[in-house]
């Protein structure tokens, strides 16, 4: 046979017939895999939750809140009245630390900030996109506890993000606030749990006619 004939007689080996099915299965698996990767790994639930940067001063919420029993509002003074839950001023720290642990190096740092007036540079943990306008006062006054969005900060040695803070996550609550509403008295009691949250939430919802906005302009301006 001439080489050309040989070439023109080229025939795929038999095993090739099995390839299509492999490709089919492999492709399917890949497709599902990709969806999973995006669905799980690329979702705020995974990307955002657990962000725990090291802060310039290792302030322990656990110590100050759980053990010393500071109220959230002692430092985050404006949380009931303003959109921003302010980070305390250096002054606030010095209210106590002008007496307590004055010679700890960190307290020295704080002292220095007070003297120079140069702010302490805290690392931002809970970050919403800049086109989202969240108002702390509204949520606090409506009876949404800190814990609903920030988790058990009172138990955190170092603050980390506990919730995804994604839009779908926000909507969950805006569409069914009864799952989080609680009496004003317990808003700052992070360890408090209602035995019958749903039923109680419903009551509060009715009582204060709480209708969380679901319009775009509720959060976006």
Contacting another protein within 67-106 (CB under 8 A): 78, 81-84, 86-91
CB of 137 to another protein, least distance (A): 6
Binds another protein (CB under 8 A): choice among 69, 195, 196, 221:
221
Q: Exactly one of 44, 62, 70, 106 binds another protein (CB under 8 A); which one?
A: 44
Nearer to another protein, 29 or 52 (CB): 52
Structure tokens at 131: 């086109």
Tell me how far apart the alpha carbons of residues 65 and 146 are, in angstroms, rounded to a whole number: 13
- Between 127 and 198, name the residue whose CB sits nearer to another protein: 127
Q: Which of 108, 138, 193, 198 binds another protein (CB under 8 A)?
A: 138
Find, among 94, 96, 45, the residue nearest to 68 by Cα: 96
- Burial, 170: exposed, middle or buried (Cβ in 10 Å; 0-12, 13-18, 19+)? buried
CA-CA distance, 69 to 90, in Å (whole number)?
Answer: 20
Closest distance to another protein from the beta carbon of 30 (Å):
18
> Rule CB under 8 A: is residue 54 a binding residue for another protein?
no
Answer yes or no whether residue 157 interacts with another protein by CB under 8 A: no
Residue 59 and residue 132: Cα distance in Å, rounded? 28
């Amino acid at each position: 046979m001439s080489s050309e004939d040989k070439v023109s007689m080229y025939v795929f080996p038999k095993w090739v017939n099995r390839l299509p099915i492999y490709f089919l299965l492999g492709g399917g698996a890949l497709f599902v895999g990709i969806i999973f990767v995006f669905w799980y790994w690329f979702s705020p639930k995974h990307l955002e939750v657990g962000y725990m940067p090291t802060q310039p001063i290792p302030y322990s919420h656990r110590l100050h809140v759980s053990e010393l029993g500071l109220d959230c509002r002692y430092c985050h003074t404006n949380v009931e009245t303003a959109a921003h839950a302010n980070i305390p001023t250096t002054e606030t720290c010095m209210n106590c630390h002008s007496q307590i642990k004055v010679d700890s190096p960190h307290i020295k740092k704080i002292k220095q900030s007070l003297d120079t007036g140069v702010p302490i540079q805290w690392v931002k943990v809970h970050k919403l996109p800049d086109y989202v306008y969240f108002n702390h006062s509204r949520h606090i006054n409506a009876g949404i506890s800190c814990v609903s969005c920030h988790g058990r900060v009172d138990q955190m040695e170092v603050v980390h993000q506990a919730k995804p803070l994604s839009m779908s996550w926000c909507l969950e609550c805006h569409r069914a606030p009864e799952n989080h509403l609680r009496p004003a008295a317990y808003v700052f009691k992070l360890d408090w749990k209602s035995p019958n949250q749903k039923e109680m939430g419903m009551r509060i919802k009715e009582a204060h006619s709480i209708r969380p906005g679901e319009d775009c302009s509720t959060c976006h301006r």
